[in-house]
A and B are shown apart, each in its own frame.
Chain A
Amino acid sequence: MVQIVISSKAGEGPAEWLLVELQGEMVSRQNTGLAGNLMGDLHYTKEGVPVLIVGHHILYGKQVKLEKPFEMMETNQENPTFYTVSALIKKKLIFKTRPKPIITNVPKKV
Chain B
Amino acid sequence: MRTLEEVQATLQIAKVKEEDLQPVSYCLSFGDYVSTTVSWSWMIHFQLTISVLIIKQDTSNLLLFVPGCKSPDEQISASPQLMHAQIWGFSNCYWELRRQRPRLKKLKKLLMENPYDGPAVGMQEEAPGLKYTMDDLLERIQASREEIEIENLYIVKHRPVFVGFWRILDFDYKMKLLGHVTQLVDSESWSFSRVPLSACLEELGSLEPKAMIEHCLNCYGRRYSIEDGQVMYALDEDKVCRATAQLLLQKKKCRFNLSEFQEVWQQSVPEGMSARLDQLRGLALLDRSTKPETISLLREEDLPEDTLERFNSLFSLREKWMQDDIEPYIQDLCGEKQTTGALLTKHARSSVQSGFKGVYNSRRPVSN
Contact = CB atoms under 8 A, between A and B. Distances in A.
Genuine A/B complex = yes
Interface of A: 1, 3, 15, 17-26, 34-46, 48-51, 53, 58, 63, 68-73, 85, 87-89, 91, 93-94, 102, 104
A89 B65 contact: yes
25 contacts: A1-B138, A1-B139, A1-B143, A3-B144, A18-B67, A19-B66, A20-B64, A21-B63, A21-B64, A23-B60, A23-B62, A34-B30, A35-B33, A36-B29, A36-B32, A37-B29, A38-B29, A40-B28, A41-B11, A45-B72, A46-B21, A71-B41, A72-B40, A85-B43, A94-B61
A106 to B, nearest CB: 10
B43 A58 contact: no
A17 B25 contact: no
Nearest to B144: A3
A49 B72 contact: yes
B245 to A, nearest CB: 35
B13 interface: yes
Contacts of B62: 21-26
B356 interface: no
A21 B63 CA distance: 5
A58 B16 contact: yes
B149 to A, nearest CB: 14
A18 B69 contact: yes
Interface in B5-40: 7, 10-11, 13-16, 20-22, 24-34, 40
B163 to A, nearest CB: 20
Contact of A46 (B15, B22, B67): B22
A44 B25 CA distance: 7
Contacts of B64: 19-22, 39
A92 to B, nearest CB: 8
A41 B27 contact: yes
